[in-house]
Amino acid sequence: MSLIKTISDQVHLGFTGRINILTEQTGKYLGRITLRDGLIVFTQFKERIGKSSLYHCLIEDLEEGNLKFAVEPEVVGDNEIIFTLDYQEFVDKGQKIFQAYKSSKKFRPPGHIKLMIDPDFIARGQSLSYVEFELLSTISDYSRVSDIFNESKLLEYQVSNALVSLRQKGALKVVGKKK
């Protein structure tokens, strides 16, 4: 069953508990979505926490379909609520994010390319958006494009768009193209 269908079923029941996110083949635990009285209040997927992890999970489920979900009722205390998101907000934002993801896929550079921040760009002191700054922080730790996409806390389409923007601003240099 898909993520959207699983959440929909639980929301309509006013469910309180967790939806465990597992790999379809091995059943390996990847994270959880916590609901309280039919509202999404916490998400952890792979090493991400918060709303962005929910949308990472949604994209992976829609693109690869390799996830399964196990519903587990449990008491959810006030201290476990990180955000509140109703089903319609989740679906509406999920559609927008998935469309942005699909349209930005063509801008994603090959994973084997290595990038470096151009020191002259830093010296110029050009202004950055929050997303660009977050991406530069990730690039300072990881140079290979595949690692940047895997390790960034940003959504995949945000990474793609920020890479294009930073490249246009002259902030990035390609330093390695070996496969």
For 102-143, the pLDDT digits (tens) are 988 888 888 899 999 999 988 888 889 999 999 999 999 999
pLDDT of residue 122: 84
In this prediction the pTM is 0.79
Tokens standing for 11? 């929301």
CB contact set of 44 (below 8 Å; sequence gap of 6+): 31, 32, 53
Contact of 117 with 172, CB cutoff 8 Å:
yes
Instruction: Please give the domain boundaries of the chain with CATH numbers for all domains.
Output: 3-104 (no CATH), 108-176 (1.10.10)
Quote the percentage of the chain above a pLDDT of 90: 79
Q: Are 61 and 67 in contact (CB under 8 A)?
A: yes
